[in-house]
Amino acid sequence: TPLLRALQAIDNAAVEVCKYFDKNVKKVNASLGWEQEYFLIDRGLAASRPDIQLTGRTLLGHSSAKGQQLDDHYFGTIPNRAMQYMRDLETECMLLGIPVKTRHNEVAPNQFELAPVYDEANLAVDHNSLLMDVMDKVAERHDFKVLFHEKPFAGVNGSGKHNNWSLSTNTGVNLLGPGKTPMSNLQFLTFFINTIKAVHDNEELVRASIASASNDHRLGANEAPPAIISVFIGEQLTNVLDELQNVTNGKLSPEEKTDLKLNVVGKIPEILLDNTDRNRTSPFAFTGNKFEFRAVGSTANCANPMTVLNTIVANQLIEFKKEVDNLIDTKGLKKDEAIFNILREYIKKSKNILFEGNGYGEAWEKEAKKRGLSNHKTTPEALKAKVSKKTIKIFEDLGVLNKVESLSRYEIEMEEYVLHIQIEGRVLGDIARNHVVPTAVRYQNMLIENVKGLKEIYGKDFKKFAKQQMTLIEEISGHIEAINSNVTKMTNERKTANHIEDIEKKADAYCNKVKPLFNEIRYHCDKLELLVDDELWPLTKYRELLFTN
């Protein structure tokens, strides 16, 4: 598979670089520790919502008066029913060999997280796929429905699947963990800086690796990393890179070499122990001894981002070794001098990808644009990076994917996007016209009967007593008209898109013509939810879905 080929590529490339520091290294494994976020919803309540049943998320629904504002779910104890489910799930996981370790509440009501002990990347990917299936089956026993969708409820946090990635050798060394000697720390810096350089040079591909119709709702929603890929490394490591950036070009004097080893490279462990600064808004952050890829969505198969990440880092390490060997062979530099020289240049070239600030702010969008970083907010836009000449060449050179495989996978992902939006559009149109509008008309008729009764009693003065009812009747009419007209527009746009044969143009049409009408329809449906009698409303409300446990 592409993942196994990517892991072989990173193994081969990393072993060659490791030999600069330890000749005994024969194998390098990529490790992965995923963090699975999810919602637990009462199965009966979920079954009453056609949108949850068919799309995995609520396509409409007004926010509950209470959401996650108080953080009481996040910092509270796990509810008893959810705890019983988790214990049952953990038992099943142990029987299957999935080493689950962590369980806790997440920010949104009825949102939780589960995480295992990290494992070899391919095995970890298999464990996560198996776990998601087991979670569904165990949930049935507890009358729960598990929602993996990245954004099942508007107005509260969505769910992600942070991928914690590192590299370790057969000699037991974590290549992204600082060591106890200047030489082992130089090894750490080599892999650390090369990873940053790989992400910098391939940031559009990294963004494409986590693109999906469902993750589009989460990225950049002030609760998850933005669609702009950047790397967070913390203030202290930023200072270390600033020092290395000033390394002399060419041969180093004995004094400079000693100073680097003792005062810059040699102090890294001490710095990292004190470095507790973590930026939750970063999509790709260094967290002490690993990189945490936070932009991955909760429904994702980790194989996609892991294939991309291991491939681009392998490609970068191959380039690094060529450049270092070239300096040793042609310039007569010593090994450590050549490494320092190449790392210095990499730091300079990768500066634009490093960002320590607030990734949620508009200021970062403007700054990222100045730096030349991409900001692909939609899946059709982001996926195009997967079939660029540069991407196809990297995959082909390393034997991960050939051109035909890359193009076919791209087409499948684009088609999957279209089908997701198509299904959501059809479900939304059905609920709006067959559930919401008839209910609103029924309530409107009740108001009309009320107004007629008041007119019979009060005669000409009835308007004084029926003013609010008449206003409600008009408001409901306005929302009904808007729903029907927007559903008609959406249906027509969908029909037009369905006749487009080119998959890129079709995906763009669904993204830019069909999907924007979802928000228009939802707005008017949610307004009617606040106006119509609660006993008549046909859909289970947010307060019931999120606070019934």
- Asked if residue 227 has pLDDT above 80, the reply is yes
Tell me, what DSSP letter sits at residue 39?
E
Q: Kindly tell me if the per-residue pLDDT of 308 is higher than 80.
A: yes
388-402: pLDDT as tens digits: 999 999 999 999 999
pLDDT above 70 coverage of the chain, percent: 97
426 plus 385 within the same structural domain: no
Residue range 532-540: average pLDDT?
97
Which candidate, 426, 466, 430, 432, places its Cα nearest to that of 449? Answer: 466
Structural domain includes residue 334: yes
Average pLDDT over residues 222-235: 84
* Same domain (yes/no): 371, 505: no
The answer to whether the CB of 151 falls within 8 A of the CB of 221 is: yes
**For the chain, how many structural domains are there in total?**
2
Q: Are residues 371 and 302 in the same domain?
A: yes
Residue-wise pLDDT tens digits, 53-85:
999 999 999 999 999 999 999 999 999 999 999
State in Å, rounded, how far the first CA of the chain is from the last one.
41
- Amino acid residing at 218: R
Q: Averaged over 196-219, what is the pLDDT?
A: 96
In this prediction, residue 254 carries a pLDDT of 78
* Spatial distance between the Cα atoms of 42 and 438, rounded to a whole number of angstroms: 26
Domain that holds residue 539: 416-547
pLDDT at 495 over 50: yes
Average the pLDDT over 89-115 and give the result. Answer: 96
From CA 60, how far away is CA 40, in angstroms rounded? 19
Q: Express each pLDDT in 438-473 by its tens digit.
A: 999 999 999 999 999 999 999 888 888 999 999 999
Last-in-domain residue among 401, 426, 452? 401
- Give 316-333 pLDDT, tens digit per residue: 999 999 999 999 999 889
In a domain, 379, yes or no: yes
What string of H, E and C letters represents the secondary structure of 193-235? Answer: HHHHHHHHHCHHHHHHCCCCCCHHHCCCCCCCCCCCCCEECCH
359 closest CA partner among 513, 232, 496: 232
Q: List, in sequence order, the alpha helices (H) in 283-432.
A: 303-331, 335-350, 362-371, 379-383, 389-397, 403-431
pTM equals 0.94
State which of 377, 401, 425 marks the end of a domain: 401
Find tokens 């079939």 and name the residue: 387
Compute the average pLDDT of residues 242-246: 87
What is the mean pLDDT of the segment spanning 488-513? 97
To the nearest 10 degrees (0 to 180), the angle between helices 121-141 and 80-96 is: 130
Using the 3D structure, point to which of 335, 369, 401 is the last residue of a domain. Answer: 401
How does pLDDT run across 354-406, given as a tens digit for each residue?
999 888 888 899 999 999 999 999 999 999 999 999 999 999 999 999 999 99
Q: Which of 158, 157, 143, 111 is nearest to 45 (CA)?
A: 143
How much of the chain is in helix, strand and coil states, percent to nearest 5?
Answer: 60, 10, 30
Q: Tell me: do 389 and 459 sit in the same domain.
A: no
Confidence at residue 460, expressed as pLDDT on a 0 to 100 scale: 86
With a pLDDT cut of 90, the percent of the chain lying above it is: 83
Determine the pLDDT at residue 107: 94
CB 361 within 8 A of CB 220: no
Closest alpha carbon to 61 in 542, 407, 547: 542
Q: Write the pLDDT tens digit of every residue in 136-177.
A: 999 999 999 999 999 999 999 999 999 999 999 999 999 999
57 vs 78: CA distance, rounded Å? 23
| pLDDT averaged over every residue in the chain | 93
- Residues 323, 443, single domain; the answer is no
Q: Is 341 in contact with 250 (CB distance < 8 Å)?
A: yes
- Say if residue 450 is in the same domain as residue 508: yes
In a domain, 406, yes or no: no
475 pLDDT higher than 80: yes
pLDDT at 220: 67
